[in-house]
Homo-oligomer: A and B are copies of this chain.
Amino acid sequence: MSELAEAVQALDLVDHHVHGAISTEADDFEQLISESDRPLPDGLSAFDSQLGFAIRRWCAPVLGLEPHVSPEDYLAARRELGTDDVNRRLLHASGIAHYLLETGYAADRILDLDGMSLASGATTDEVVRLESVAQQVAGSGCTAAEFAPRFAEALDERLASAVGTKTVVAYRLGLDFEPQQPSLREVETAAGEWLASGSTDRVSDPVLLRHLIWAGVERRLPLQFHVGFGDPDLRLHRANPLLLTEFIELAEPYGTPLMLLHCYPFHREAGYLAHAYRDVYFDVGLAVNYTGARAAAIVAESLETAPFGKLLFSSDAWGPAELHYLGAHLWRRAITHVLGEFVDAGEWAEADAIRVATMIGRDNARRVYGLSPVA
What is A's interface to B at a CB cutoff of 8 Å? 34-36, 38-41, 43-44, 46, 48-50, 53-54, 57, 67-68, 229, 231-232, 235-237, 240, 242-243, 245-246, 249, 252, 264-265, 268-269, 272-273, 275-279, 287, 290-294, 297-298, 300-301, 303-310, 342, 345-349, 352, 356, 359, 367
By the criterion CB–CB under 8 Å, are A49 and B307 in contact?
yes
Q: A41-B278, A49-B308, A347-B57 in contact; A236/B293 too (CB < 8 A)? A: no
By the criterion CB–CB under 8 Å, are B279 and A41 in contact?
yes
By the criterion CB–CB under 8 Å, are A44 and B309 in contact?
yes
By the criterion CB–CB under 8 Å, are B276 and A304 in contact?
no
CA distance A274 to B236 in the complex (A): 13
Q: Which residues of chain B are within 8 angstroms of A306 by Cβ–Cβ distance? A: 49
The CB with the most chain B CB atoms within 10 A, among A38, A275, A297, A367, is that of A275
CA distance A268 to B346 in the complex (A): 28
Q: Which residues of chain B are within 8 angstroms of A305 by Cβ–Cβ distance? A: 35, 49-50, 229, 264, 287, 290-291
Contacts A35-B305, A36-B278, A57-B348 known; list 4 others, CB within 8 Å: A54-B347, A57-B346, A67-B349, A275-B290
By the criterion CB–CB under 8 Å, are B50 and A304 in contact?
yes
Q: A39-B278, A41-B278, A269-B236 in contact; A300/B294 too (CB < 8 A)? A: yes
Q: Write the nearest CB–CB distance from A302 to chain B, whole angstroms.
A: 10
By the criterion CB–CB under 8 Å, are A236 and B48 in contact?
no
Q: Which residues of chain B are within 8 angstroms of A277 by Cβ–Cβ distance? A: 36, 38, 232
Would you list 14 pairs from A and B whose C-beta atoms are within 8 A, ordered by A residue?
A34-B275, A35-B275, A35-B276, A36-B276, A48-B307, A48-B359, A57-B346, A57-B347, A68-B348, A232-B249, A235-B246, A236-B272, A287-B304, A293-B342
Determine the residue in chain B with the shortest Cβ distance to A341.
B293
Q: Write the nearest CB–CB distance from A348 to chain B, whole angstroms.
A: 6
CA distance A229 to B304 in the complex (A): 12
Q: Which residues of chain B are within 8 angstroms of A345 by Cβ–Cβ distance? A: 293
By the criterion CB–CB under 8 Å, are B268 and A268 in contact?
no
By the criterion CB–CB under 8 Å, are B367 and A276 in contact?
no
Determine the residue in chain B with the shortest Cβ distance to A302.
B294
Determine the residue in chain B with the shortest Cβ distance to A48.
B308
Q: A43-B367, A269-B265, A272-B229 in contact; A303/B309 too (CB < 8 A)? A: no
Residue from the list B265, B297, B310 in contact with A272, Cβ < 8 A: B265
By the criterion CB–CB under 8 Å, are B347 and A53 in contact?
yes
By the criterion CB–CB under 8 Å, are A276 and B38 in contact?
yes
Q: Write the nearest CB–CB distance from A220 to chain B, whole angstroms.
A: 13
Determine the residue in chain B with the shortest Cβ distance to A364.
B44
Q: Which residues of chain B are within 8 angstroms of A293 by Cβ–Cβ distance? A: 303, 342, 345, 347-348
CA distance A43 to B366 in the complex (A): 13
Residue from the list B43, B245, B304 in contact with A290, Cβ < 8 A: B304
Nearest 5 CB-CB pairs, A to B?
A265-B268, A237-B242, A293-B347, A44-B309, A68-B349
Determine the residue in chain B with the shortest Cβ distance to A304.
B291
CA distance A236 to B274 in the complex (A): 13
By the criterion CB–CB under 8 Å, are B53 and A348 in contact?
yes
CA distance A259 to B276 in the complex (A): 24
Determine the residue in chain B with the shortest Cβ distance to A237.
B242
By the criterion CB–CB under 8 Å, are A352 and B68 in contact?
yes
Q: Which residues of chain B are within 8 angstroms of A304 by Cβ–Cβ distance? A: 50, 287, 290-291, 294, 298
Q: Write the nearest CB–CB distance from A74 to chain B, whole angstroms.
A: 13
Q: Which residues of chain B are within 8 angstroms of A242 by Cβ–Cβ distance? A: 235-237
